[in-house]
Amino acid sequence: MGKKWKLSVLMAGKYDIVKGAKIGFHLDAETDLYIASCGRKDFGVVKSINGGSREDLRMLGTDFGGIVVRTDPDQYLAEAVVKMYKKDSAKRMVCAEPMFIGRKKECTGTKKQENAAGNF
């Protein structure tokens, strides 16, 4: 078993991101912000990490994935869980959810704002 962190995501608009959807995160080198995306479309930025620090977030690397556990489209917020597992041989933490490897659920139902996501 490994560690779990909850990431709070500030969404760029009202999106129907469903609970259980796989989302990806990637580090934008220019702004030093982690961008959240679903279906290869950016929809928000990581606002905070609950139960961890910025250094813990950096351990995940520049591209990683997570699972949506809660959304509040009216407040433009989403919460995702990112899991880490110990690697026996190296004795270090690695991300167990690589970005964009299959999806178990669709990311969105109907998008409420077509132009809400833009370049960050």
Per-residue pLDDT tens over the stretch 43-101:
999 999 987 888 888 888 899 999 999 999 999 999 999 987 655 434 444 444 444 43
Strands 41-50 and 63-72: unpaired
Query: pTM for the whole thing?
Result: 0.71
- Which comes out higher in pLDDT, residue 116 or 23? 23
Question: Does the structure show a pLDDT above 50 at 107?
Answer: yes
Banded pLDDT at 102 (limits 50, 70, 90): very low
The percent of residues above 70 in pLDDT, for the chain, comes to: 69
